[in-house]
Every structure is written in C-alpha cells, then in structure tokens.
Amino acid sequence: MYPARLDEKGRLKLPTAFQTYFSALPERKLFATSLDRRTAQVYPMSEWRDNIKFLQSHTEHARAARRVAFNAADLGSESEMDGQGRIQFSVELRRALEIENQPVHVFTYKGRLEVLPEKVYEEMKKDSGDVTADDISDLEAAGLK
C-alpha cells in the first residue's frame, strides 16, 4: 500500500515499483477508470481490452456487466505514463471520486492498480480488521500461500 496524491492537473505520481512494471509492458497505453464510482482502477490496455470483451459477452450477470461497462466508459480514459511516472486521470473520474488534489492510497490487485480515496481506504481498513483465523484457514485451504 502506497500513499499518493493527485496533483492539481489530475496526475497520479506512481511509486517506482509501479513505474518499472508499466515501463516494461509491450504496450504503453493504460486505461484509468472506475467500475463502482468509489475507487479507481488503472489497467494495462491489453487487460482492459480483455475486460471489454468479457463485459460484452457475459450473460450470466448481464445487468451487472452493463452497469460496470457504463461506469467504466463514462469515467474512463486512455493514458500513458509520462517521463516522471505520472498517469493522467479524466476530470470526470477525479470529480466523481472526489480525489482532485487529494491524498489517495494505491496498491496492486489482480493485475491492476487500485486507487482508493481516503474515505474508502479508512472504510476498508476498518472492515479488514474483521478477518478471523477461520478466514485465513479457509483461504489457505483454497490455495493461499
């Protein structure tokens, strides 16, 4: 978990480890969006294209897929990491999540960056305190190392 901040122009400065990861990708384009209008996600473009295909073809939860696809399209934008390791977020995304020139918390999850506004970070921190020994045992039995 890395503390970060969006600057006055809506750019997120990435920690060095994330800069190295994105720099090594064959395709430089990224997609910054929100699936739930609470947190932001930054995907390598190839991963995002796979998500678009999934959302367009997923029929088991078609209504949820349509809502997520709408949110992503409404708030998302393509970006590239600049020479200083920053990623631009759209005005719509920044305003919807209320993260303009605000502190955020960044971590990786399932091949993407998760960007948490301070309020969401505090909620998740409180909620994660409810993890029990049984939760850990269940996850280890399922493959957690």
DSSP code per residue over 51-93: HHHHHHH--TTHHHHHHHHHHHHHH-EEEE--TTSEEE--HHH
Tell me: the pLDDT tens digits for 75-125?
Answer: 999 999 999 999 999 999 999 999 988 999 999 999 899 999 999 999 999
Tell me: the pLDDT tens digits for 1-24?
Answer: 999 999 999 999 998 988 998 888
Whether this prediction's pTM lies above 0.75 is answered by yes
Domain residue extents for the chain: 2-118
Rg (CA), the chain: 16
Q: Measured between alpha carbons, how far is 4 from 2 in angstroms, rounded to an integer?
A: 6
> What fold, for 2-118?
Chemotaxis protein chec (3.40.1550)
